[in-house]
Amino acid sequence: MRLAFLGCQPTMLKISILDTSAQCRLVLEGKLIVPWITELKKAWKALAADLGGRQLVIDVGNLTCISRDGEDALLELMRHGATFRCRGVFTKHIVQQLLCRFRGSASDDSPANSVEAEQRTGQD
């Protein structure tokens, strides 16, 4: 009981891959924290080599916790063209914050880049 009270619960990240002819979707569930960030990067890199022009979609709707390192990993995916699906206030807020960081780090602040970045959020 004491461990639950202190918030020391087991932490996990489940990564599911939904593969279709049009897209490859990584569905993330649980906590995106160290050491699971490394597992996300491994999964993404393995899939990136085999996309064959398909869209990479990251579904963050079932994440319950995202550390700063986790945000950085998602931002890296955004920079590589991934689109995001999210649900609820928490994940929508995180994706919006990442979008602001993405815009701030873009080398060209033209309106076209802003529209492209907004399309990348692909929120449900």
Residue 101's Cβ-side half-sphere holds a number of Cα atoms within 13 Å equal to 16
Residue 113's Cβ-side half-sphere holds a number of Cα atoms within 13 Å equal to 13
Q: At which residue do the structure tokens 């160290």 appear?
A: 34
**Is residue 8 very low, low, confident or very high in pLDDT (cuts 50, 70, 90)?**
very low
d(CA 10, CA 64): 13
**Mind listing the pLDDT tens digit for each residue in 77-100?**
999 999 999 999 999 999 999 999
Q: How far is CA 113 from the centre of its chain?
A: 19
H/E run at residue 79: helix 68-79
**Mind listing the pLDDT tens digit for each residue in 72-82?**
999 999 999 99
**Is residue 107 very low, low, confident or very high in pLDDT (cuts 50, 70, 90)?**
low
Please name which of 25, 97, 106, 26 lies closest in space to residue 66, comparing C-alpha atoms: 97
Q: Model's pTM, two decimal places?
A: 0.76
Average pLDDT in the 106-112 region? 44
Domain locations in the chain?
A: 10-121
The answer to whether domain 10-121 has CATH 3.30.750.24 is yes
